[in-house]
Structure 1
Amino acid sequence: MIGYLEGRLMKKEKERILLLVNQVGFEILVPVVVMETLSAKAIGDEVSLYIYYHQTERQPKPVLIGFNLEAEKEFFQYFISVEAIGPLKAVKALNISVGDIAHAIESGDVKTLKRLSGIGDRTAHKIVASLQGKMNKFALIRHEKEGAMAPADEDFIQMVMDVLVSQLGYRTTDARQMIADAVEKNSTIASAEQLFDEIYRGQRQ
């Protein structure tokens, strides 16, 4: 199973790229929001992507789908769990940022979800019904990938810090401030899930 690839950009098309990794060229489907972040990349530049690997009896030819952040890949796996949304449809649908899509799901904003390519009113309602209540973490994703951080320890605050920085794309200083603000507002927080919820509420105020 392929979960991550790093190599040189050989070719860039509208919905896919060709990535040279150890003398092997991998054809990777890329959602619009990810392709936008690759717009400044030239042929020969280094590119690294988290990969969703798709292969079934109905789709025997392996399909690789690329994402900048591990959290974007995780969101994608939730997204394709919705009835009538398969991986290939989902790739075309992601034409606005994952953070904005996740926020729309949490707030029941069907109008925004209908802006997604190929998503009509019925499917938009299905997305909300299936995923609402599971998207707070993904609603915090920032569009640009920034920074890195040391691995988390057992403390849930440190774990949230790690997720904000290494998965969701926040700067370490920004993540630290977001956590501090959340804890100040709610001193009863006792788990990572509660902390994410409080951070999410704080960012939307």
Structure 2
Amino acid sequence: MISQIEGTIRRLLENRVELDVGGLTYEILLPSRAYQQIRAMDPDQPLRLYTYHYLEGGMAANPIPRLVGFVGELDREFFQLLRTVKNVGVKTALNSMILPVGKYARAIEAEDVTTLKSLPEIGPATAKRIIAELKGKKLVKFLIAPAEEGAEEPLPAVTGYQAEAAEVLMQLGKSRTEAEEWVDRAAKEHPEIQASDALLHEIFRLYGAP
């Protein structure tokens, strides 16, 4: 299975890229998000993509092998997670990925059907099914991804009850950075919480216990 590919761009289209790899040209399907990212890169520099291989046509007599490419490994993981949802195929998952992964995941976690159903290939029923099957622990690593390119700001130093909550998370196996990210996000979403135990309760509700 091809998990990564690196080569020179021969042609870039809105939904695919052709890469020259050692004299062989590979056609790789792209989500809209990856296309926009690649457009912003230097076309003369080698391009590395994280790939997902599948057979178009499934069990048909003559299935066509296809590669889907992603600029980041996290994007590929999110695509694979979407594929686990009932009736969400490669085309639906691929075409829906027009948002940064962090923003997409937070829409699911917030049960934001309006945002989800506005995505290509995602109707109201599919949006609700995605929420029902993915909301919770499965989204943790994606929830802390930046919502926009370059949007992530340094975390403020946690103090007081927030520091106590972060310390508990570290004792449960989280790194300091991840613990502080979880605490900071929960505190921003619920500024009315002013105690470490209540904050931890909310964190566990959102992300599940570590």
Q: TM-score range by the shorter chain?
A: 0.7 to 0.9
Q: In structure 2, what is the equivalent of residue 138 of structure 1?
A: 142
CA distance in 2, matches of 1:185, 1:26: 52
- Matched position secondary structure for 1:5: strand
Q: In structure 2, what is the equivalent of residue 50 of structure 1?
A: 50
Equivalent of residue 62 in structure 1, options 47, 62, 65: 65
**CA 1:123 to 1:196, structure 2 compared with 1: closer, same or farther past 3 Å?**
farther
- TM-score, normalising length: structure 2: 0.73
CA distance in 1, matches of 2:176, 2:82: 23
Per-residue deviation at 1:136?
A: 2.2
CA distance in 2, matches of 1:191, 1:83: 32
5+ unaligned residues in a row in structure 2: which ranges? 189-210
CA contact (8 A) 1:93 1:116 kept: yes
Amino acid at match of 1:84: N
1:121-160 map, 5 Å: 121-133=124-136, 134-142=138-146, 143-144=148-149
Give the structure with higher Rg (CA): 2
- Matched position secondary structure for 2:84: coil
CA distance in 2, matches of 1:76, 1:188: 32
Amino acid at match of 2:86: E
Per-residue deviation at 1:200?
A: 3.8
CA deviation profile, 1:162-191 (whole Å, cap 9, x unmatched): xxxxxxx979xx4xx57x749825121112
CA deviation profile, 1:49-81 (whole Å, cap 9, x unmatched): 110111242482111111111111111111011
Per-residue deviation at 1:194?
A: 11
5+ unaligned residues in a row in structure 1: which ranges? 146-168
**In terms of mean alpha carbon deviation, does 105-114 or 49-58 score higher?**
49-58
CA distance in 2, matches of 1:136, 1:10: 37
CA contact (8 A) 1:12 1:18 kept: yes
- Matched position secondary structure for 1:62: strand
Q: In structure 1, what is the equivalent of residue 25 of structure 2?
A: 25
CA contact (8 A) 1:99 1:140 kept: yes
Q: In structure 2, what is the equivalent of residue 202 of structure 1?
A: 184
**CA 1:11 to 1:115, structure 2 compared with 1: closer, same or farther past 3 Å?**
same
Give me the identity figure in percent: 31
Q: In structure 2, what is the equivalent of residue 192 of structure 1?
A: 174
CA distance in 2, matches of 1:195, 1:61: 44
- TM-score, normalising length: structure 1: 0.75
Amino acid at match of 1:100: K
Per-residue deviation at 1:86?
A: 0.6
**CA 1:106 to 1:185, structure 2 compared with 1: closer, same or farther past 3 Å?**
farther
CA distance in 2, matches of 1:54, 1:185: 47
CA contact (8 A) 2:92 2:122 kept: no
CA distance in 2, matches of 1:83, 1:197: 32
CA contact (8 A) 2:85 2:130 kept: yes
CA contact (8 A) 1:15 1:31 kept: yes
CA deviation profile, 1:15-74 (whole Å, cap 9, x unmatched): 000011121111111111111111134654321111011124248211111111111111
